Amino acid sequence: MVGGRGDWPALVEEASRVSSFAVELTALGEDELPGLLRFLAEEPQLPFRYVSVHGPSKGREMPEDELVAQLAELPTFVHAIVLHPDQMKDPDLYAPLGGRLLIENMDSRKDAGKYGDELARLFERLPAAGFCFDVAHAWTVDPTMKVGGDLLDRFADRLKHVHLSSISDGLEHVPLSEEQEDLFIPLLSRCRDVPWILEAEPPRR
């Protein structure tokens, strides 16, 4: 969700109007993380059955071991902690996050984490980690969606949730277009059992 960044109660309220099933609370900038950690440490009563936290991928300055230590303290009702693989310089440091750690496939701009082989090497070092499939990121890497299909083939047993949106020319997440909905359906139909996190406003149709 976008807007009102840092006002976690308001963001939760906004998200719950879309669905009370699943939410991802995103601290994309490292400066947003302390506020999110404080909010969750108070163990607020949330309406969601599935709660994910997206760790910071911008403005990173904190040493990795310190970041992991902070994320590991998230309360147990947080099911998943999503991180970008291109930000993980020393993957072994992330082992304490165990099965809550989800590694997300990256978009075409990134140097790492786009293809199955790259992610497989990470999962070898972090065998308990799960997989977050960002379908729009996969499209930027390969608009035929073969790379996306390969990711689902290889990591079917690790998949924990999906990030769903379309993506603009500037690689910003935007509401899912009808054209891309049609294109994504074959892969999304393989993910019917896991939460889908909308990374933009729900499409109006």
Partner 1 sequence: MGPLESLAEHSAGGFPNLLRAREETRRRLAETRRRLSGIDLEPRASVVLFGSWGRQELTEHSDDDWALLVDGPDVTGARCSMNEISELVGKGDRKPGDQGIFGSAISCNDLVELIGLEADDNKNLTRRVLLLLESVAVINESAHGDCWQRVLDGYLDDSIKSYRPPRFLLNDLIRYWRTICVDFVGKERAGTGQKWALRNLKLRMSRKALFAGGLLPALLCHRYDSSDIGRFLSEILRQPPIDRLAWAFLELDAPDAGVRAIGAYDRFIGMLESQQARAELERVPRNEANRSAFFVEGKKLGADFQQGLLALLFETSLEPLVREYGIF
Q: Which residues bind partner 1 (CB under 8 A)?
A: 50, 76, 79, 99, 152, 154-159, 190-194
DSSP per-residue codes, 40-58? HHT----S-SEEEEEPP-B
Torsions phi, psi for 18 (to 5 deg): -85, -45
Nearer to partner 1, 99 or 175 (CB): 99
Q: How far is the CB of 194 from partner 1 (least distance, A)?
A: 7
Question: To the nearest whole angstrom, how small is the minimum distance from the Cβ of residue 145 to partner 1?
Answer: 15
In the complex, minimum distance from the CB of residue 76 to partner 1, in angstroms, rounded to a whole number? 5
Q: Please, what is the minimum distance in Å from the beta carbon of residue 19 to partner 1?
A: 15
- Per-residue DSSP letter, 114: S
CA distances from 63 to 90, 92, 93 (A): 11, 14, 10
Residue 192 vs 204, nearer CB to partner 1: 192
Please state the closest distance from residue 79 (CB atom) to partner 1, in A.
6
Would you say 76 or 144 has its CB closer to partner 1?
76
Contacts within 8 Å (CB) and 24+ apart, 15-19: 15/48, 16/47, 16/48, 18/198, 18/202
Q: How far is the CB of 4 from partner 1 (least distance, A)?
A: 29
| Per-residue exposure over 27-43, b if at least 16 CB sit within 10 Å of its own CB, e if not | beebebbeebbebbeee
User: What gap in Å lies between CA 156 and CA 75, rounded to an integer?
Assistant: 27
CA distance 195 to 163: 9
Residue (167 or 191) nearer to partner 1, CB: 191
Contact 145/183 with Cβ under 8 angstroms?
yes
Query: Quick one: 62 or 72, whose CB is closer to partner 1?
Result: 72
Task: Indicate the residue among 98 and 143 with the shorter CB distance to partner 1.
Answer: 98
